[in-house]
Amino acid sequence: MPKARDGVKWTKPELGLVEFNGDKKNNICLIEGAVPSMTLVNDFLSVLYEPNDPDPSRRYKAAYIAHMPYDDIKGGMSNIGVKERRVGTTICATSADGLSWKVVGDRPANAGGERFEVSSLYRFGDFYYSTGQLLSPWAWRPDGSKTGRTTLAFRSPDFTTWSQATALAYSRPGQLTNPPVVGQQEHMGMGLWNRGNVLVGLHGMWQDAATKPAKGESWNKGVHIDLGLVISNDGVHFREPVPNFKIIARGEPGAWDDVALLQGHAFVNHGDRTMMWYSHWDTGGNLKTMEIGLATLRRDGFGYLSAQEEDNDSEFITDFFELDENETIHLNVSGVSPDVPLTVELLDRRAQPIPGYTTTISTSGLRVPIEWSKPATAGRKRALRVRYPVGSQAHVYAIYLGGQETK
């Protein structure tokens, strides 16, 4: 449980909760449960903090992979003819302080169903969701043919009971072509950031080795993974804004992160920057490093809208939204000036301009307010049209309603 004030320099506190190698001077968190093998975190622990949960003991929630023996799984587990002594199970746990945890129930969330290598946990709308990876024979392409690792999602209304019906959340473009691109797979679901009306996240862009590893070498030697950008508007189905775009690419040969990158639930806006943490996996099996990397962007600078042709004007229209009483709209924008401003119009439910609600933006900044001549009516279906004049160099990174950008 490392901690940091600035997100860059981290320390490991001595928690004194779990004895390891004869003493408790370590930063190991305590997980308790009725079944010992459920308390052993094998991979990809994700934490969700809900400070407003009415039950203080549930304000921290976690999901992680435990590779449990079949005999330990109450409720059984489908193996679809695959002979394994242990199986990847999804374990949920709750905590009051994020340090001492209790496993939810006496069986995995996916008990009675199929294996599931969970890698994320989030709440969106009325449900809790998790994404993770599976491959054939537990997952298939839409036409029923075999697939490599792909992202599935499953959900719960209460964090206790999880539906066993999973949804196909995302496959990489090459996995869906006919025939599929050889060796292209989707690694370990999504690392996600809930921004209110949209999920933004990272996914693992797995590519098999060009040649099969020699006998005696690690089975995945030569596998490379970069991190791509995904978004979702419903919490279930994901898409890449630019297919196969590497938002965090592997390092140059010899760098600490030159083989395979791993995403996590690790995003924060701090000052004028968006910070994203990731880790590294040495697929050759040598464990040459266990370091954590930090990638930074302009605040919410995942992408922007700009004019493509300098000698033409241009525009975009947002999706519809509703304003609360006295709620202000802000732009994260650069490249504007009094000489070359943006024009912003408030539109009605039929995307037509509302008289009296046209203004200009002539300053750049992370949180530039849109100021109308009179207050906008709350509770109505509205949209924005943003117009770029000829010669505009403006970049619009984000549009915020109220305090949305502080998350």
pLDDT confidence of residue 286: 75
Which pLDDT does position 404 carry in this prediction?
58
The torsion of the CA quartet 135, 141, 144, 149, rounded to 10 degrees, works out to: -10
Residue 335: closest CA among 359, 361, 303: 361
3-class secondary structure, 57: helix
Rounded Cα distance, 250 and 261, in Å: 7
**Which residue spans of the chain are classified as CATH 2.60.40?**
314-406
Cα separation, 371 vs 162, whole angstroms: 45
CATH numeric code, 314-406: 2.60.40
Judged by phi (left if over 0) then psi (alpha if -120 to 50, else beta), residue 271 lies in left
| 170 touches 114 (CB < 8 A) | no
Q: Are 111 and 89 in contact (CB under 8 A)?
A: yes
Residues 228, 247 contacting (CB under 8 angstroms): yes
Work out the end-to-end distance of the chain between its first and last CA atoms, rounded to an integer number of angstroms: 22
Q: Hey, which CATH number is domain 30-298, 2.115.10.20, 3.30.1120.80, 3.10.450.710, 3.40.50.720?
A: 2.115.10.20
The C-alpha atoms of residue 360 and residue 345 are separated, in whole angstroms, by: 9
Q: pLDDT tens digits for the chain (407 residues)?
A: 666 778 888 888 999 999 999 999 999 999 999 999 999 999 899 999 999 999 999 999 999 999 999 999 999 888 776 777 888 999 999 999 999 999 999 999 999 888 899 999 999 999 999 999 999 999 999 999 999 999 999 999 999 999 988 999 999 999 999 999 999 999 999 999 999 899 999 999 999 999 999 988 888 999 999 999 999 999 999 999 999 999 999 999 999 999 999 999 899 999 999 999 999 999 987 777 778 999 999 999 999 999 999 899 999 999 999 999 889 999 999 999 999 999 999 999 999 999 999 999 999 999 999 999 999 999 999 999 999 999 999 999 999 998 655 54
Residues of the chain with CATH 2.115.10.20: 30-298
What tokens appear for 348 in the block? 């009605």
pLDDT of residue 403: 61
